[in-house]
Amino acid sequence: MVGVRIDRLVAVLLLLQRREQVTAAEVARELEVSERTARRDLDALAMAGVPVYSMQGRGG
């Protein structure tokens, strides 16, 4: 299970490198996970020191 999450976090990093902005919904769609999982992954990256910033509202 841990290996799956690490793979997913790396996939999120690669997605963020390709695109300047991405929504949690887009991450979820791209990685075929729920939005909640995408948000948790983005939070985990932010806590690890990756400069991930979130915005509330439409498109955030």
Angle between the 2-18 and 24-31 helix axes, to the nearest 10 degrees? 120
pTM of the entire predicted model? 0.83
SS3 (DSSP) at 32: coil
Kindly report, residue by residue over 24-43, the tens digit of the pLDDT. 999 999 999 999 999 999 99
What does the pLDDT look like over 18-27, one tens digit per residue? 988 899 999 9
DSSP assignment letter at 20: S
Q: From CA 52, how far away is CA 48, in angstroms rounded? A: 10
Closest to 37 (Cα-Cα) out of 50, 20, 24:
24
